[in-house]
Structure 1
């Protein structure tokens, strides 16, 4: 968060008003005027329900002196009514605004017989942005980044006269933002502040890609920092935008800037007296995935533009993943251009080629690491096109299901442990790869540290929850997990409150509910996770395993089949879950076949494999059972006797069967691994 956003200095005037906003020490009311209009007092939402009430407060916040006459407001909002009716409507509107504050103790409005004003002690995002625009280059960059692409008072058209005022207010704000961008870029070029120049250019041109003057300054700044390819790209984007939207071409200034860039050595800055460029900060956020154009070849005329349709569906599916930042690109960027997305950003590009050959379609997706153009993943597949929609669904499922896990595996070794998000990536990796109790607890401590430093980082919570729910991924046995599960449940509630769209929060909450005996709540959370993202094979697998414990074997099996459709090369956990399902369906022969596919069995996968093998009378069953008893003994807590009763009780705490008959069935398999049945193992 930019430093100025928490400043307690008085802010400058907002869009229409040029005086000083009354925001300052003791501010209680905050107005959000960019995008959706919202009002808050601390964490309390005090936004009135009606559009007119919101628009009236916003109008006052953007007016000279933050006040207006009653006659002006009546004409502005109810000019199509008689004077008496308009004033009556105004009174009702003022009452609604005052009522919205509830018992917060804040007076949003003050009024007398002639005029209405905003109450004392408030601030707004617009006032803060304008204060920042009056500051140094870095502050201007913060302001433009915060403004983003949002419109002033989005969606608040309420009357013809108000709409005319709002159109002018938006134009005024946009003009001031553009002026700040130009002024900031010119100053940054003059002082050699390459990082501020980059930020101003990148964020402002997202808002207005057709601003030729800003583009020219941005190209000069790119040349200054030796980034000629990025300057070329800016020119191309300007040219394409002007041609598509206005039917024009870049003017002489842009052509001159392009010529200057072309004549400038890439490795050297334009200005030889410019100071040494600062080291750009490591980007703190999820890996970036650029979805570039998909190309089709050899298609019949009735299938033209199929690649664009597939790409749109892939984009829609990838947008559901919270561990990726997905951007649409009109071409594959070069390696030199990777830095424009932020120094330290872990970036990838996804492309695909679709070819038709008879009744088949061959799809070749390619996932490329942008920094060095290395191919991270490519898996060509041939699909029957007799049912076109089914073929498209199969393509989309395969691409979406494969991309995220490949990015995840590739990104972790490239993370920089200094940034909070990268610390999260490292901690998550250590949690998954821990081999001892010490390593498991160390991973938990790392995740606790990440959450302490960035409590809003919802993606970090589920991995810590899973550690606590499972005795650090079963690195110690025999102890009661209940105390850790209390902490896990509280973390799960926090995770969901932070992000209702993060499906990992739903799956871990589903498991928390399983262990608490909240069967209906568990099912609801698992189903919600799959509804939110039907492309995330790992999360669907977690939901499938949970449904098996709820006794819903058919649905759990359907979910596991969905996982296989998404990723034809599943990991060991998939075969563990599928084998366990077959075991609980009284099909140990099929279970054995799946457990035999596991390369590195977990403690429980090892157990299930032993039970299935013994159930079918496999000759190696007794030897496998003895090996598992040694494995569990190696991690059994020295504070608890390793008796049959304690072992069965511990297993019960980690296998939350809803139906007693399913626990009875599982218990019936346990004989081969119990110590009393094999006294030689004692």
Structure 2
């Protein structure tokens, strides 16, 4: 009996001693040992004590030292989810502060110039950029505040889906300017000097509701002001644009707008596309965009989204049909719009994806690289360019630009992690890929296929999770099957090949072989649609 009591105590105490000892020695190894070895140690610690914040903070340091901002975000998201689910709490202030500090450091330098463009229609969402204030009355803070205000305005100006206004005094002084805007926001900021560091707090608020839709605390080091200011501007602009789109697409009053004004119609279509919608709803959104394009062929944003929908077959909600007509329509839309606006980076990005799916590798590669130089601060577009380069097999370049997207947008959406997981799968790091798939929550059919394929290369993959993924994928695929042809395993594999058209044979084989290995034992080969 005494031995059993001792053994029970030791079974708890020994793992705790291991965790304490390793945590004490690991900081000295970070930056010196190979990152792959550090990651293996951290995974072992996670298995011993999964929601230990000290371990998570060590992971933050290791990710930052390796320049892996994507993994830093993944680790923080996993910790937040775990603490909420298991204990109903958020991470400690120390952990949150460390994440915020490290996620704002080391943003890659810009890769080209920013070119201003004229503002658009009077009812566009409007951003009032207020002069950044200084709390400490010193020359350095005042100069930085002035430069940041001007640079943020200049960097926001090229994005024609918003209107940028310089706010000279207060919101009331420009009330008439924003009265006709679909939504109006004010960007404010305060700077204070703390030793050799300039601390900047930024907030973006919806003027009508008073709700803060985005905020961040950034640091500017006086030792390298030019680079630090560029990093802050890139981070701010890369976060502001997704925050505005998210806020607008969730506006309940959109339904109350009558008529067919292009901007209102576009906002309604984007709302229909922004959630896990049904196929009829997405088709309705496509019809709205077609109406806009027919009336105004130069409407860049309607063209971009319509071409994207057709080129991805309504985000994989249609499978098994002849894709030729959709792909041809997408290519035609992208080409026409690019002829009108040859310098628009997002049109060039959309055209590059059309070339990619038609396996015009050279044009796709050139287009993605040119688009990147024109969209320095647009995190979503940066990530999408990187995903395209990933499919082309340019994994090192894709990795670099994906890391930049994570650095630009601290509230990285699920598909950032899913795209990075696909890249890691192609690199052969199945474990790291699964870690990103696990935290992202992305349930798109394409990503489910990639996750299943990746799981085939993980011998210890959880059997229960495997069954959940299999059921989810086969159910969604059956629902998406838009033809009376027999739904076979071969058809599913061909669909995966066309949806993720990897240029390199070894990458295509990794997807197909992995997916076939996971599906072959259970796939309902004689299943037919009931439509």
For normalisation by structure 1, the TM-score amounts to 0.56
Q: Is the Cα–Cα contact under 8 Å of residues 129 and 188 in structure 2 kept in the other structure?
A: yes
Counterpart-to-counterpart distance in 2, 1:470 and 1:510? 13
State which of 634, 648, 653 in structure 1 corresponds to 2:479. Answer: 634
Q: Within 5 A, what are the aligned runs for 1:405-444? A: 405-412=242-249, 413=251, 414-415=253-254, 416-418=257-259, 419-433=261-275, 435-444=277-286
Q: Is the Cα–Cα contact under 8 Å of residues 503 and 533 in structure 1 kept in the other structure?
A: yes
Structure with the larger RCO, 1 or 2 (CA within 8 Å, 6+ apart): 2
What number of residue pairs does the alignment pair up? 399
Counterpart-to-counterpart distance in 1, 2:282 and 2:322? 17
Q: Deviations over 1:296-348 (max 9, x none)?
A: 232654454111111122122112212111122212222x8423444354222
Q: Within 5 A, what are the aligned runs for 1:31-430? A: 285-298=123-136, 300-334=138-172, 337-412=174-249, 413=251, 414-415=253-254, 416-418=257-259, 419-430=261-272
Question: Is 1:671 aligned with 2:516?
Answer: yes
Question: Is 1:558 aligned with 2:400?
Answer: yes
Q: Deviations over 1:480-499 (max 9, x none)?
A: 21111111111001111222
Counterpart-to-counterpart distance in 1, 2:452 and 2:484? 27
Runs of 4+ in 1 over 6 A off after TM superposition: none
Gaps of 5+ in 1: 1-282
SS in 1 for 2:190: strand
Q: Is the Cα–Cα contact under 8 Å of residues 392 and 503 in structure 2 kept in the other structure?
A: yes
Q: Deviations over 1:604-640 (max 9, x none)?
A: 2222222223321212254122432232122223412
Gaps of 5+ in 2: 1-120
Counterpart-to-counterpart distance in 2, 1:307 and 1:584? 44
In structure 2, the CA distance between the partners of 1:434 and 1:441, relative to structure 1 (3 Å rule), is farther
Q: Which residue of 2 aligns with 1:6?
A: none
Q: Within 5 A, what are the aligned runs for 1:579-658? A: 579-617=421-459, 618-620=461-463, 622-623=466-467, 624-658=469-503
Cα RMSD (Å): 2.2
Counterpart-to-counterpart distance in 2, 1:433 and 1:304? 43
Counterpart-to-counterpart distance in 2, 1:299 and 1:563? 35
SS in 2 for 1:289: strand
Higher helix share: 2
- How far residue 377 of structure 1 moved from its aligned partner, in angstroms, is 2.1
Counterpart-to-counterpart distance in 1, 2:211 and 2:169? 17
In structure 2, the CA distance between the partners of 1:411 and 1:669, relative to structure 1 (3 Å rule), is same
Q: Deviations over 1:105-137 (max 9, x none)?
A: xxxxxxxxxxxxxxxxxxxxxxxxxxxxxxxxx
Q: Is the Cα–Cα contact under 8 Å of residues 417 and 440 in structure 2 kept in the other structure?
A: yes
SS in 2 for 1:615: coil
Task: Please identify, of 343-352 and 361-370, the stretch whose mean Cα deviation from structure 2 is larger.
Answer: 343-352
Counterpart-to-counterpart distance in 2, 1:488 and 1:380? 41
Q: Deviations over 1:158-199 (max 9, x none)?
A: xxxxxxxxxxxxxxxxxxxxxxxxxxxxxxxxxxxxxxxxxx
